A = this chain, B = another copy of it.
Amino acid sequence: MAGAGGDGETVRNKKVVLRRYVTGSLTVGDMEVITSAVRPRVPPGTPAPAVMVKNLYLSCDPWMRGRMTKHDDGDDVALATDFALGEAMVNYTVGKVVDSTHPGFAAGDLVWGMSGWEEYSLVTQPAETLHKINYPNLPLSYYTGVLGMTGLTAYAGLFEVGKAKSGDTVYVSAASGAVGQVVGRLAKIAGCYVVGSAGSDEKVALLKTRLGFDDAFNYKAEAGDLAGALRRRLPGGGGIDVYFDSVGGATLDAALLNMRLGGRVVVCGMISQYNLEEPEGVRNLVSVIAKRVRIEGFSVFDHFGAYARFEREMAGHLAEGKVAVVEDVVEGIDAAPGALVGMFSGRNTGKLSVAVAKE
């Protein structure tokens, strides 16, 4: 067997661990990079078939924030269990199988899925948590983003929840972000008119040029009248058929005033609210009655069944050059805590990931 470090050898295994549960804004000091060692093999005696993965890319995603706060046992609002203090944080990665006792995986396989924020991860239920990478000639980092959970989130939210169709007007907040840019491109490919908002003039320019949005605006510059800023950008004085919400708060309020009859608000995230101790109020919900608006929260975890179809379609779009990918790849696991903190203040443009190893 070709364990990366040889059969008996141990290798360094840096891990990003959570030092303390977080209230309010996340800081770099809430995390720590610690160094341990690992023998890069599935340990003898591991009860069920497992794989040892060498992580190549770590995905940085907003939902990680929810797992960094301590929740009461009875509080099931969290998407998943809290991270354990002192252990590697858990999220999506791209990696290479370096050892396997599972019949479905072999050393050398490229995979993406749920493992640890560390250099090597033992994955004990690989069939449930890892996907083989079917398009290895595309950049592997895409599987943290446009071909991974980010892309599937955009696809499932826009089409399975939002029922977007040709001719619809789609509004996307956090539009230059990882999910937002994919939502915008998929909506354009489907024949929608797409308006985006983002937090700087540079991001707005990116939306209108490289990312191909029909129109876009800087929500910080328009904060005095967000609803009006949005309304002026809707074609024919019409409303929004699908609002893909990753922001919540005042942005959701502005969208609610502009929905078309029967419009859908797909709630993917509310990044404006996660770092607040007291959430903002959303004041315009009453408009859902007259407009028969549906607001629906969703989790990509319910939509794995669509992944194979999505991967095939998206790989096709990428091969045809229909989807421009804007990535922000940070080098080295030591930079991971700072990258994650920066994401919550909007420092990155496009899908943020950390390159841990080249192969």
- Which residues does A use to contact B, with CB under 8 Å? 66, 74, 76-79, 237, 248, 252, 257, 267-270, 273-274, 278-299, 302
Q: Tell me the bound Cα distance from A282 to B270 in angstroms.
A: 14
Q: A278-B283, A280-B281, A282-B282 are in contact. Are A77 and B290 (CB under 8 A)?
A: yes
Taking a contact as CB atoms closer than 8 A, the residue among B270, B286, B289, B298 that contacts A286 in the complex is B270
Taking a contact as CB atoms closer than 8 A, the residue among B74, B248, B273, B286 that contacts A273 in the complex is B286
Q: Tell me the bound Cα distance from A84 to B74 in angstroms.
A: 53
Among A76, A78, A268, A297, the most chain B Cβ lie within 10 Å of the Cβ of A297
Q: Tell me the bound Cα distance from A279 to B256 in angstroms.
A: 13
With both chains docked as a complex, state the minimum distance between the C-beta of A266 and any C-beta of chain B, in angstroms.
10
Q: Which chain B residue shows the least CB distance to A252?
A: B285
- Assess whether A289 is in contact with B298, with CB atoms less than 8 Å apart: yes
Number of copies: 2
A79 contacts which chain B residues (CB < 8 A)? 289-290
Q: Tell me the bound Cα distance from A279 to B288 in angstroms.
A: 14
Q: Tell me the bound Cα distance from A285 to B270 in angstroms.
A: 9
Taking a contact as CB atoms closer than 8 A, the residue among B280, B289, B294 that contacts A294 in the complex is B294
With both chains docked as a complex, state the minimum distance between the C-beta of A167 and any C-beta of chain B, in angstroms.
20
- Assess whether A288 is in contact with B282, with CB atoms less than 8 Å apart: no
- Assess whether A291 is in contact with B77, with CB atoms less than 8 Å apart: yes
Q: Tell me the bound Cα distance from A142 to B313 in angstroms.
A: 56
- Assess whether A270 is in contact with B297, with CB atoms less than 8 Å apart: no
Taking a contact as CB atoms closer than 8 A, the residue among B248, B274, B292, B298 that contacts A285 in the complex is B248
- Assess whether B283 is in contact with A267, with CB atoms less than 8 Å apart: no
Q: A285-B252, A287-B77 are in contact. Are A295 and B296 (CB under 8 A)?
A: yes
With both chains docked as a complex, state the minimum distance between the C-beta of A225 and any C-beta of chain B, in angstroms.
15
Q: List 11 A-B contacts (CB under 8 A).
A: A79-B290, A248-B285, A267-B285, A274-B286, A279-B285, A281-B281, A281-B283, A287-B297, A288-B295, A291-B297, A293-B296
Q: A280-B281, A281-B281 are in contact. Are A297 and B302 (CB under 8 A)?
A: no
- Assess whether A298 is in contact with B292, with CB atoms less than 8 Å apart: yes
Q: Tell me the bound Cα distance from A248 to B285 in angstroms.
A: 8
- Assess whether A302 is in contact with B292, with CB atoms less than 8 Å apart: yes
Q: Tell me the bound Cα distance from A66 to B284 in angstroms.
A: 15
A284 contacts which chain B residues (CB < 8 A)? 279
Q: A292-B298, A293-B296, A293-B297 are in contact. Are A286 and B78 (CB under 8 A)?
A: no
Among A76, A77, A298, the most chain B Cβ lie within 10 Å of the Cβ of A77
With both chains docked as a complex, state the minimum distance between the C-beta of A37 and any C-beta of chain B, in angstroms.
37
